[in-house]
Amino acid sequence: MQIDINLDKNSYKVYIDELSTLKFKGKVAVITNSKVGGLYLAEVLSLIEADEKYTITIPDGEEYKNLATIENILEQLFVSRLDRSNTIIALGGGVVSDMSGFVASIYERGIDFITIPTTLLAQVDASVGGKTGVNNKFGKNLIGSFYQPRAVYCESRFLKTLPRREFAAGIAEAIKMAIMFDEKFFEFFERCDVQNSDDLTKIIQRCVELKAMVVGQDEREKGLRAVLNYGHTFAHVIENELNYKGLLHGEAVAIGINMANRLAVNLGLLSVNEADRIEDLLTKFNLPTKYKIKDENAFYESFSLDKKSENSVIKFILPDGIGKNIIKSDIKKEQVIEVLRLFK
Ligand code: NAD
């Protein structure tokens, strides 16, 4: 199955469960990490036909998503003498694809790259849409570029080795897409069995279609693309409070979705029944929905540190019923505090 990402001259296809021989003229460098490389590198290398193949293995973990690792990758590309007519292939989760994309965007001012995402989160979200980058001491993903891949290959079978919590973290982002854009997809989630490979492929497919729709309309996040940050305004504060330890990003997003929903209920945008249905669905996938806020005022003040809040206007992305979204910039502090008090 193939899904088109329509971006004029930067258009490309996402192939789902169609990975086969990949032919290139010239050199190819596969960037992966120690864990994914051990699982899938040999197979992927055997599918690549190129004049010369190189492998760059980076350490596994978000803590290595930084400029030092980028330097290291660039160094290896120069040593291997790749030039602008060659190709980089990212094999791994969102960390590998974000960094490989960034390297591709700056290596000799831009070299082609392809991604083979191996986590659910990367398949349904990170690998599509061209956001690349790294973290620094000021925050996550603050250094980066918009740079589209030439193709994306999502193989659902690669998800079989994914740890259970990592899988669920990807499901949280997929459920986010359903709540924001597609009520029928949400209902599908309520009855599907993710152990069933057809159901899993359907989830990947629908998420990629929805992401294609969003990115096709708003590649640079000037409007609609911000909707993908639903749940994230709250999640970023939680992650920050926890020093990025203990919860996976997708787990923090699940809590953030529940918080946003309770705000939407208080504003009359979502019924209690709908908010409960969403919470039940997240719980069905073993995702957390509860969090103990120690100080709701401090929590509120942290919203303004989020890079998504422009000129200190706090934008809340909320469901307007299941399957529709609304961006609100005029919610009073007291209304938000009232909701935060529910999470004590
Ligand atoms: P990750 O890349 O760290 O992968 C999670 C863990 O799973 C790692 O330990 C990894 O080695 C392991 N892993 C990967 N594939 C595996 C497999 N098939 N089997 C077993 N283990 C496997 O994390 P992630 O959740 O994929 O991505 C998170 C990153 O993505 C964050 O840095 C986030 O900022 C970024 N992101 C980017 C975008 C975007 O639009 N560019 C969107 C969402 C998230």
> Choosing from 229, 258, 261, 325, which is the catalytic residue?
229
Is the distance from CB of 19 to CB of 47 less than 8 angstroms?
Answer: yes
**Protein residue with least CA distance to atom 2, ligand 1:** 93
Residue 94 Cα to ligand 1 middle (Å): 4
Q: How far apart are CA 341 and CA 294, in angstroms?
A: 9
Residue 306: pLDDT over 80: no
For residue 40, give the ligand 1 atom closest to its CA: 18
Best mutation site among 119, 200, 214 for ligand 1 pocket (most ligand atoms within 8 Å of CB)? 119
Q: One-letter amino acid identity for 230?
A: Y
| pLDDT tier at 309, thresholds 50, 70, 90 | low
- State in Å, rounded, how far the first CA of the chain is from the last one: 46
User: What is the total residue count of the chain?
Assistant: 344
Is the distance from CB of 82 to CB of 50 less than 8 angstroms?
Answer: no
Q: Which DSSP symbol is given to 158?
A: G
> Which residues touch 173 (CB under 8 Å, ≥6 apart)?
121, 124, 125, 207, 250, 253
> DSSP states of 83-103 as a string?
-TTSEEEEEESHHHHHHHHHH
Residue 62 Cα to ligand 1 middle (Å): 8
pLDDT at 307: 56
- The whole-chain average pLDDT of the chain stands at 95
Any atom of ligand 1 within 6 Å of the Cβ of 122 = yes
pLDDT at 32: 98
pLDDT at 223: 87
For residue 60, give the ligand 1 atom closest to its CA: 11
For residue 122, give the ligand 1 atom closest to its CA: 26
For residue 65, give the ligand 1 atom closest to its CA: 32
For residue 133, give the ligand 1 atom closest to its CA: 41
Residue 48, strand partner residues: 22
**Protein residue with least CA distance to atom 43, ligand 1:** 126
pLDDT at 244: 86
Any atom of ligand 1 within 6 Å of the Cβ of 93 = yes
Any atom of ligand 1 within 6 Å of the Cβ of 65 = yes
Mean pLDDT, range 36-45, rounded to an integer: 98
Mean pLDDT, range 168-175, rounded to an integer: 98
Q: How far apart are CA 178 and CA 171, in angstroms?
A: 11
| pLDDT tier at 304, thresholds 50, 70, 90 | confident
pLDDT at 311: 58
For 180-231, the pLDDT digits (tens) are 999 999 999 999 999 999 999 999 999 999 999 999 999 998 889 999 999 9
> Choosing from 13, 225, 284, 328, which is the catalytic residue?
225
Any atom of ligand 1 within 6 Å of the Cβ of 117 = no
Annotated catalytic residue 236: yes
Phi, psi for 285 (deg, rounded to 5): -95, 20
- Chain-centroid distance of CA 35 in Å reads 19
- Chain-centroid distance of CA 110 in Å reads 23
Q: Which DSSP symbol is given to 314?
A: P
Residue 23, strand partner residues: 49
Residue 31: pLDDT over 60: yes
Annotated catalytic residue 150: no
CA dihedral 333, 337, 340, 344 (to 10 degrees): 160
> Choosing from 236, 262, 277, 315, which is the catalytic residue?
236
Strand, coil or helix: what is 209? helix
| pLDDT tier at 310, thresholds 50, 70, 90 | low
> Which residues touch 146 (CB under 8 Å, ≥6 apart)?
130, 131, 132, 219, 220
Annotated catalytic residue 23: no
Annotated catalytic residue 338: no
Q: How far apart are CA 319 and CA 325, in angstroms?
A: 4
> Choosing from 62, 166, 221, 338, which is the catalytic residue?
221
Annotated catalytic residue 10: no
**Protein residue with least CA distance to atom 32, ligand 1:** 95
Residue 121 Cα to ligand 1 middle (Å): 6
Q: Give the tokens for residue 31.
A: 């960037």
pLDDT at 37: 98
pLDDT at 132: 97
> Choosing from 27, 65, 131, 262, which is the catalytic residue?
131
- Chain-centroid distance of CA 16 in Å reads 17
Strand, coil or helix: what is 116? strand
